[in-house]
Structure 1
Amino acid sequence: MKNKYLHLITTTVLLCILASCRKDGGQLPSEEEQVGGGSTGKIKGLYVVNEGNMGSNKASLDYYDYATGIYKRNLFGETNPGIVLGLGDVATDVAIYGAKMYVAVNGSNLVEVMNARTAKHINTIKVPNCRYLKFYQNKVYVTSYDGYIAVADTGSLTVQTTIKVGRQPEQMAVVGTKMYVANSGGYTPSNYDRTVSVIDLNTSTVIKNIEVAINLDHIVADQYGDVYVTSRGDYYNISSKLFVIDTKTDAVKKQFDIPAGEIAINNDLAYIYSVEFNYNTGVNKTSYTLLDVKTETLLNRSFITDGTEKDIKTPYGLAIDPISEDIYLTDARDYVSSGMLYCYDKTGRKKWSVTTGDIPAHFAFLYQ
C-alpha cells in the first residue's frame, strides 16, 4: 500500500506496528556498491532520500555517482557524525536549489539544509509537520500538515511568512507566477479535503480553491500549462483517479479513471504507478502506466517492459532522468527492512538494482 507517513490515521497506526518489529533503531552502515558502469554528462549524480520508520530516527541519504557508477548509502550520517540523531525522523521530500540541498523531515519538524555537493550540514528551518518543498525566486515553500505553507528565504534560511491553504496540504506545482497546492484532509478520513489551492506568488495570497476530488496528493506540471493531480480515494469505495487542471482557466479539464499513486512527467510522457489498497477486500492492486501529456491520451503499455516488475513488492518512489530518460523506481518492500532502487533504461528494460536504506522514496538530481 502506498503511503507517505500521514495519509490516513489508520494507515499510520499500521506502519507504527510494523516499525515496532525493528528493534535496532540504528542507521544503515555506510557502504559503497558498484552498480553502474559509470558515465559523464550534465548530471553528476542522484540523491535518494529514505524516509525511515516513524519514531525511529532512521531517515537517511544515499547517493549514486554517475561518473563512477558507485552507490553510497548513509551519506549524511557519514558526512555529519556530530549530528547525533542523523537526518532525523521520517524524511518526506528532497530538492536542490542553487548550491544547497533541502530535505523535509516530517517527524523532526524541520527542513535540513546542507551543501548540495558534499551533504555537509548548513542549518535547519523549523517547520512543524513539514511535508513537501518547492522553490520560486529565492524562496523555499514548505507545506505543513498544520494547514499552511511556510515561506523561507533561501539566503537567511528563516521563515518570512505563512500562507493558509486547505487541510493537510501535500505537493505543490508552480506554473508562471501561480502555485497549485494539493490538499488532502488526511487527518479526517470521514471528511477529506477536495481542493487544490491556487496561490498568487507575487502577493502570497490564495486566489482560488479548485474543487477536484477527495484526498489529493501528488501534483505535477507539464510543459503545456496543465497540472496533473492524483486523488487517492478513500481506500474503501472510492477509487484513485487522475485529474488535469488547465492553469489558464484554473478549472478541471479532464479526468482519467485510472489508479494513480505517484506521477513523474518528462517531456511529453507522464509515468504513473499505483499501489491501490482496498480495506474491504484487503487486496493491493499494482499498476504501471504511461500517458502522453501532449495529446492527453493513455498509452496502452507499462513503462516497465521486460517483466521485472514482478520483482518489485511495494513501488514507493519514482523519478526520470531528464537527459538520458532512465527511470528510477524504489521498492519499500515490507516498510521495515532495507528497500531497493531499480534503474531502467528509457525503453523500460532493467539496467541495475541496489539495496537502499529503509523506505526509499524521494530523489534529487545533482548537476555538474
Structure 2
Amino acid sequence: MNEDTTLEPPSSNGFLGFYMLNEGNMGSNKSTLDYFDYTTGTFQRNIYGARNPTVPKELGDVGNDIAIYGSKLYAVINASNKVEVMDAGTAKRTGQIQIPNCRYIKFHEGYAYVTSYAGPIEVNPNYTQKGYVAKVDTTTLKEVARCIVGFQPDDLEISNGKIYVANSGGYMGAGNTEKYEKTVSVIDIATFKEDKRIDVAYNLHHLQSDKRGNLWVTSRGDYKNLPSRLYFIDKDQQKVTDTLPIAVSNFYLDGDSLYIYSTEWSYVTYSNVITYGIVNTLTRKIVTRSFITDGTDKQIEIPYGILVHPVTKDIYVTDAGNYVSPGMLYCFTKAGRKKWSVRTGDIPAHFTLLPQQ
C-alpha cells in the first residue's frame, strides 16, 4: 500500500516533483517507486502498485536506473530483464522493453540507449558474454539495433555525437584485478558502431559530461589495493588528462558543481569508509570534502543516491541502511543543513525530476 507524509510547504520551482526508484534487495522482487510532490510538499511511498493494480509482481527485481524522456517515465529493472515504461505524470504503465541484465538508460533524438550485461547475473572470472548498448525507438518501444562493447557495461553518456560507455568487467574481476575492464567505449551515434576505446582505470561505473562536453568517469577500484577515483577525459584529446584523489560511489552534476559521495568497501579492513565532497568541473579542483555541514551526515549509515534541485539547490541523499529494511531520504539546504528526513522503500537509489509541462 502507498503512504503519504507531508514534509514541507507547497512550492513551484519549475518542477512538479521527483520520482525515486528503490532498488530492493536482489531476489526479493521488492523494487518500488516513491514520489515527492512539490505542489503539496508530500512524500508518497510505493505508488507503483496503487497506480497499476493489475500488474503482477508489480515493478520487479532490482531497480537500477530511472529517467523521464518526453511524456514517458522509464525504470530500468535489472534482474527482471526489462525497462518498465510509464506515463510520466501518473506513473501508470504504458509498456515494457525486454533487455537482459539491463543497467542504465540515456536518450537522444527519439531513441533510448540502454546498457546490458547481456548474460546471466553471476560472478565468473571466465565470463564470455560481452555486453552491449541497445538502441530502442521510444515511439514503438522496440529495440532496433545493438552495439557490442566491453564486459559488464554500466553507465553511459551521450555528448558530441558520441555515446560513451563505462565498461566494468565487474563479474570477472572479483579475486583477480587484472580481469576487470578498464576502458570507456566510444560509439559513433550516427553509425551506431564502436569507434574506439579510451583507457581509464579498472572497474568503471558512472559517467557524466560537464557543460563543456568533457567527461567525468568513476572507477570503483578493486576494493583492495586500488582505491576508487574520479577521472577527467578531455573531449578534444579523447583521453584521460586528469585524476582527482577522491573516492566516488555516485555523483550529481549541478552547474559546475559535481556533488559526490563514496561508500568505499575494503576487503583489507572489512569496513566502509564514507566520504562526501564537491568538485568544481571548471577548475578540476576539490572544493570541499563535506557538503553536509551540521554533523547530521553521522545519521546516514550507507549513502546510496543523490539529487540536487537545480533551482533551490536543496540536496537529497538517500540511506540504504542495512539493505533489507526500508531506507531513508534526507533533504539538506544548499548550505548543507538538514531540513527533514523520511522513510522510503528498500535501498532508495535513483532519482528523476518531473518538469512542469
With the shorter chain as reference, the TM-score category is: over 0.9
Partner of residue 71 from structure 2, selected from 93, 99, 106? 99
Structure 2 CA distance for aligned equivalents of residues 225 and 86 of structure 1? 38
- What are the within-5 Å matches in structure 2 for residues 54-93 of structure 1? 54-93=26-65
Partner of 1:161: 145
Cα distance per residue 1:156-202 (max 9 Å; x no partner): 00000001111100001111211111000011012000000011111
Residues 338-353 of structure 1 correspond to what in structure 2 (within 5 A)?
A: 338-353=326-341
Unpaired stretches in structure 1, ≥5 consecutive residues:
1-28
State the partner residue of 2:164: 180
- Residue identity opposite 2:39 in structure 1: A
CA distance in 1, matches of 2:161, 2:311: 26
Partner of 1:292: 280
* Count of aligned positions: 340
2:316 paired residue number? 328
User: C-alpha separation between the residues in 2 aligned to 1:35 and 1:353?
Assistant: 8
The corresponding residue for 2:307 is 319
Alignment of 1:350-361 (within 5 A): 350-361=338-349
Deviation by residue 1:2-51 (Cα, 9 ceiling, x = unmatched): xxxxxxxxxxxxxxxxxxxxxxxxxxx31000112221121000100000
Instruction: Decide whether the 8 Å contact of 1:175 with 1:225 is kept in 2.
Output: yes
Identity of paired residues, percent? 49
| Aligned amino acid, residue 170 of structure 1 | D
Where 2:298 maps in the other structure, the secondary structure is: helix
1:251 maps onto 2:223 in alignment: no
Greater alpha carbon shift after TM alignment, 312-321 vs 34-43? 34-43
The alignment's TM-score, normalised by the length of structure 2, stands at 0.94
What stretches of structure 2 of length at least 5 have no aligned partner?
119-130
Q: Which aligned pairs between 1:19-58 and structure 2 lie closer than 5 A?
A: 29-58=1-30
Residue 249 (structure 1) shift: 1.7
Name the counterpart of 2:221.
233
Decide whether the 8 Å contact of 1:331 with 1:341 is kept in 2: yes
Following TM superposition, the consecutive aligned residue runs of length 4 or more in structure 1 with deviations greater than 3 angstroms are none
**Counterpart for residue 302 of structure 1:** 290
In 1, Cα distance between the equivalents of 2:102 and 2:306?
A: 20
Cα distance between partner residues in 2 of 1:300 and 1:338: 30
TM-score of the two chains, using structure 1 as the length reference: 0.91
Question: How many Å apart are 1:232 and its aligned residue?
Answer: 0.5
Alpha-carbon contact 1:175-1:247 (below 8 Å) kept: no
Report if the CA contact (8 A) 1:317-1:330 is conserved: yes
RMSD: 0.8
3-state SS of paired residue (1:187): helix
Task: Give CA deviations for 1:289-346 in whole Å, capped at 9, x if unaligned.
Answer: 1111111111134111111100000000111111221111100000000000111111
